[in-house]
Amino acid sequence: NSELKPAVQSAPGWKLFGKVPPRENLQKDSKIIQQEYEARTGRMYKPPPPSTRRKNIEFEPLSTTALILEDRPANLPAKSVEEALRHRQEYDEMVAEAKKREIKEAHKRKKIMRERFKQEENIASAMVIWVNEILPNWEGMRATRRVRELWWQGLPPSVRGKVWSLAVGNELNITPELYEIFLSRAKERWKSFSETTSENDIEGASVADREASLELIKLDISRTFPSLYIFQKGGPYHDLLHSVLGAYTCYRPDVGYVQGMSFIAAVLILNLEEADAFIAFANLLNKPCQLAFFRVDHSMMLKYFAAFEVFFEENLPKLFLHFKSYSLTPDIYLIDWIFTLYSKSLPLDLACRVWDVFCRDGEEFLFRTGLGILRLYEDILLQMDFIHIAQFLTKLPEDITSEKLFSCIAAIQMQNSNKKWAQVFASLMKDNKEGDKNHSPALKS
């Protein structure tokens, strides 16, 4: 443990985000600051001599507000009765205002505490339902209205990982033993990049590609949730994240490592055991939408963007036209959101709640969330030009709350001319003609 702290502090990557961990969180008192100043400058600080000016009064006022209640010094004209009364009135008003503010702040704190207690009670009661009723009868209950409504409200953290695993499934039939096999292969390759065997060619990736993947993993891990300080070198989850990503590049050399994967793996590691996180990660990335994006399948990505724009125009026609007027295409903001499943763009607790419903509803919810974000900030975005919109959507405000976002997501109707997302996407898949109208310039090259 003695080596842990320096390693964390010297971790690369934080500076890329403009965040260097603070050396000390303790606030210095004035004496320490004074001593540091003297040591630095070599000068001794002499406090000014106590003032003799106010010797004739019985007390020193504790605040500037008290000054108006004092009598003037003997060498100045005394206050008139009217002035003294006015000063007393002004002072009373200030005290009353301060009390009013204090009461208001106390009520605000009470309200926040009440909401927090209520939230904790809801989580505790929901956890009992999930553990005792839903999870033991998963297949029979997962699609019921009651479970879907409870799911929408967010999963209790203690069952989140288990529910995600069940919802994502394991179509690839990966076992913990298989994970260990690919992990040991990854460790062998970390030791020596240069070994080439015929096996490499069979697996469909050159040594150079795999070497690039492993280097990219190292760089990306340092940039994953930098403010948490747990995935960077020396942090408690650094090796775990490295293992899951390294094993995946050996398991799927055809996909390899793509930027953004580290965020998905990190969220899973925070909620699941190592082998379970790998199983969920591999299965999640095998879903059609994730596979299309991580393989950078341009034609499939364009179909996803085209489907998104159908519902964008349906739900937010004014903003849709505003984006069109600047030729601002979905790839500019959606790629980053989809690649990291919002875990980089949203606060972590909110991203986990988006993941909850994504596990319930599938890929449709990723695009519905995107529309929810656009709806939430519609008024602001309508005032912006191309550059400012792109910058704003790349770095969303940090004060975004789950209540506001989820009420906006709930208001998004995923229906167009009686067609749902799956039907709209299916009709786009059937249509082999790729009209220029739906092409994103960033993906044409």
**What per-residue confidence (pLDDT) applies to 178?**
97
Alpha helices (runs of H) in 153-237, residue ranges in sequence order: 157-168, 176-191, 198-203, 207-221
CB atoms within 10 A of CB 179: 23
Mean pLDDT value across residues 171-176? 97
Q: Of 63-77, 121-135, 346-360, which has the strongest mean pLDDT?
A: 346-360
Mean pLDDT value across residues 273-288? 97
- Would you report the helix, strand and coil content of the chain in percent, each value rounded to 5? 65, 0, 35
Going by C-alpha positions, the residue among 167, 95, 186 that lies closest to residue 358 is 167
Going by C-alpha positions, the residue among 369, 364, 366, 371 that lies closest to residue 320 is 371
- Give 212's contacts (C-beta < 8 A, 6+ positions apart): none
Output the six-digit token pair for 170: 């394991």
| Sign of the dihedral through C-alpha 30, 33, 35, 38 | negative
Give residue-wise pLDDT tens across range 423-438.
999 999 887 555 544 5
Give residue-wise pLDDT tens across range 79-98.
788 888 888 888 888 888 99
User: What percent of the chain lies above the pLDDT cut of 70?
Assistant: 76
Output the six-digit token pair for 324: 């069109």
Under DSSP, the state recorded for 384 is: -
- For helices 402-411 and 348-361, what crossing angle results, to 10°? 30
**What per-residue confidence (pLDDT) applies to 435?**
52
Quick one: pLDDT band at residue 14, thresholds 50, 70, 90? very low
| H or E element in which residue 30 lies | helix 30-41
Contact assessment for residue 412 and residue 300, using Cβ atoms and an 8 Å cutoff: no
For residue 17, is pLDDT > 70? no
Mean pLDDT value across residues 354-382? 97
Cα–Cα distance, 372 to 433 (Å, whole number): 30
Output the six-digit token pair for 356: 């909850």
